[in-house]
Structure 1
């Protein structure tokens, strides 16, 4: 065989030999995640052979940290009591993790038969999250007038923040925007829906924590209404209850046929209904912080009077 043919043959053999090493990783896809002070295991997909491996070695960032052969075991001094090798499969356990343990690990196995086996993976080391808070500027917030922001902070290695309101994820809108790192949510301006509890979930691959912050937005009064009958028999006790959506709670006052009759009470009680106290009842609700006021009217009739009016209308139709 001439030199040219020999070179081609050698190249083909080497390509097949080393191609198997490079193409068949013996470590699962990474990266692996570990927590400071905890342990992590690097498991291979190698089955224990009938004949023990000639050698197993691990390196970190290109520096050998442990090598085991049939004759001896060598461990880098700084890894003493922190590292264990599973000789049968080439797996490795690393204990008492520190941030500096994060990086690329390589395992090389030389079996008694066949080509050497190799694998690489990356370890990310995180500090567990042990505390979280939501901060907001101290201010009196009034709907459609004020703006504010909420900032989520936490201890440990934070890789993500998720904001929620009433247990539902928050997303950008005409009023809501977020900082680039999702640390802060901006509300410009606040409205009644901005009032209530906000949750921020901070997490990393080894831990998570959720913190809650109640945001007070002064709003209203909205949706004012009077709960009570529009008609009742003469002599009956009638209770009218005025309600409104308001923060802080609204102050109420009543008008009967345009005349003020009761102040600072959401309830109006008519002990005995008669012709003199049928008519229009107006409830006004006022928010002392927003300085806003709304009102609604209920027309209260006596049932006998109502029946008589219906009878007159029916008779005139006949």
Structure 2
């Protein structure tokens, strides 16, 4: 008669190649030692322990048996160790205990990398893709962008098993750090890739007062959303000023400094430019 079908976890247990796993039973150490503890793998005996131990040659030096609970430790795992394990325990004066469970063995993830075609990407013109490659037993691939889950959209799509991200065409919102997280039950590796999308200049703005008192120092700051950073030029009342920085400084406001200041931002890669105007008046 057999009882105790649940003396092993239902499984599967997970192990890594070259690692170890322990099959623990739910039994407490008895007052008297078990008469027999026997483990088998796929129906083949691994070890039978009575007053002496009979061990399968393929498992010598790879297993340790805890005679007090019947637990078995298996070391130096290989892929061929996957399958069903059965333990049979006969206590002194008791009923036979039987347990079954399964073991899955995985090769740990290694060598993860993100590959992408080498090209200069320009917003709304170029397209690209990112491929996540890795060695080992790959269970899942998860993509993140700037730390958040990557969401497919009208221009972003994923291949089967999330191996490749397609972006057609690229947009400024696609500029950032992409991460691919490759996992299996025994390991997780995350790799990052910085995707550069050249765009802009967008959102040209002049920060500064629209009026100031004569003799005051006035600073006008031009900003633009652009990759690479924009280069700037200034005009006053449609006349060149030869100021080619983002900041325009008027040390002492005079009559000739009054009028329309035009800041032009230019992107040397996209070859686009945009301008904005601030009208500076005298108090």
TM-score normalized by structure 2?
A: 0.94
Shift of 1:58: 0.9
Matched with 2:93 is 113
Does 2:170 correspond to 1:190? yes
CA distance in 1, matches of 2:150, 2:81: 36
Q: Let me know the Cα RMSD of the aligned residues.
A: 1.6
The answer to whether the Cα contact below 8 Å between 1:25 and 1:117 also exists between their aligned partners in 2 is no
Q: Tell me, what secondary structure is at the counterpart of 1:174?
A: coil
* Structure 1 residue 223: Cα displacement: 1.1
Shift of 1:110: 2.1
Q: Does 1:27 align with 2:8?
A: yes
User: Does residue 68 in structure 1 map to residue 49 in structure 2?
Assistant: yes
Runs of 5+ unmatched residues, structure 2: none
The ranges of structure 1 where at least 4 consecutive aligned residues each deviate by more than 6 angstroms after the TM superposition are: none
| Greater share of helix | 1
**Where does the alignment leave 5 or more consecutive residues of structure 1 unmatched?**
1-16, 304-318
Question: Higher relative contact order at CA 8 Å, sep ≥6: structure 1 or structure 2?
Answer: 2
Separation of aligned partners in 1, 2:244 and 2:214: 27
Q: For the Cα contact (< 8 Å) 1:280–1:297, is it kept in 2?
A: yes
Q: CA deviation at 1:263?
A: 5.2
Give 3-state SS (helix, strand or coil) of 1:276's partner.
helix
State the match for 1:10 in structure 2.
Answer: none
1:260 to 227, 240, 243: 240
2:162 and 2:71 mapped to 1: Cα distance? 39
TM-score in terms of structure 1 length: 0.84
Structure with the largest fraction of strand: 2
Partner of 1:153: 133
Instruction: Give the Cα separation in 2 of the matches to 1:276 and 1:255.
Output: 13
3-state SS, counterpart of residue 173 of structure 2:
helix
Q: Does 1:207 align with 2:187?
A: yes
Taking the aligned partners of 1:269 and 1:184, their CA distance within structure 2 comes to 49
Map of 1:55 onto structure 2: 36
Q: Which structure would you say has the larger Rg?
A: 1
